[in-house]
Amino acid sequence: MDKSFTDDSRVKILVIGNSFARDWANILLESKYRNEIEISYVFDIYKCEDIKSRLNKASYIYLAESNEVPSNINLREVITHFNIDMKRTWIIGTKNFGRNNGVIYNSKHIPNYCEQRIYMREGYLEENYKMKEKWKDRYIDLIDLIIDKNGKIPVFTPDCKFISQDCAHLTHAGAKYFAKLTENKLKFD
């Protein structure tokens, strides 16, 4: 997906950042909008030779902060440096699905196996709150879509597929799951 925009008939979406940004691109590609959008992905904005062109052409821009807690990327500096239009920009929220899926996998014999819920690794929920407060309505809160009143999140999709293979990144099933959760909140004109 690291390419310039080429299709004038589709809505141009620029996704910038680490593997969490790639997860967001995969969510969009699994959404009901997949045939209406063209995604351009940039891992390192400072090394992208045609970033100004991509930024100018993009109708929607999505940025991800580092998945390290606390974040070591200063998005405000990036936004200022590249003069990114915040009216077209959203910040992709953090996510985490526990410490180790091996513990879950080894519990296959328990009743309601597919309904297991877990706590996120320490620091992720707090980081999510900080980012939500910092970015307000420009923040896509993925955790809020799945967290319950006890602060736990699901391990599996409704059809009993792991949401994340490594507790950080989405499986194909996880991307489809989040596409369903987010697609009614998205509008691409």
Any domain includes 165: no
CATH of the domain at 48: 3.40.50
With b for 16 or more beta-carbon neighbours within 10 A and e for fewer, the 86-104 pattern comes to eeebbbbbbbbbbeebeeb
Q: Is the separation of the CB atoms in 1 and 26 below 8 Å? A: no
Say if 162 falls within a structural domain.
Answer: no
Residue ranges in the chain whose pLDDT is less than 50: 67, 69-71
Q: For the segment 124-179, what is each residue's pLDDT rounded down to a tens digit? A: 999 999 999 999 999 999 999 999 999 999 999 999 999 999 999 999 999 999 99
pLDDT value of position 66: 60
Q: Which domain holds residue 48?
A: 11-96+121-147+175-182
Q: What is the pTM of this model?
A: 0.92
Residue 63 has which token pair?
């940025």
Has residue 84 been placed in a domain?
A: yes
Number of domains in the chain: 1
What pLDDT, on a 0 to 100 scale, did the predictor assign at position 113? 92
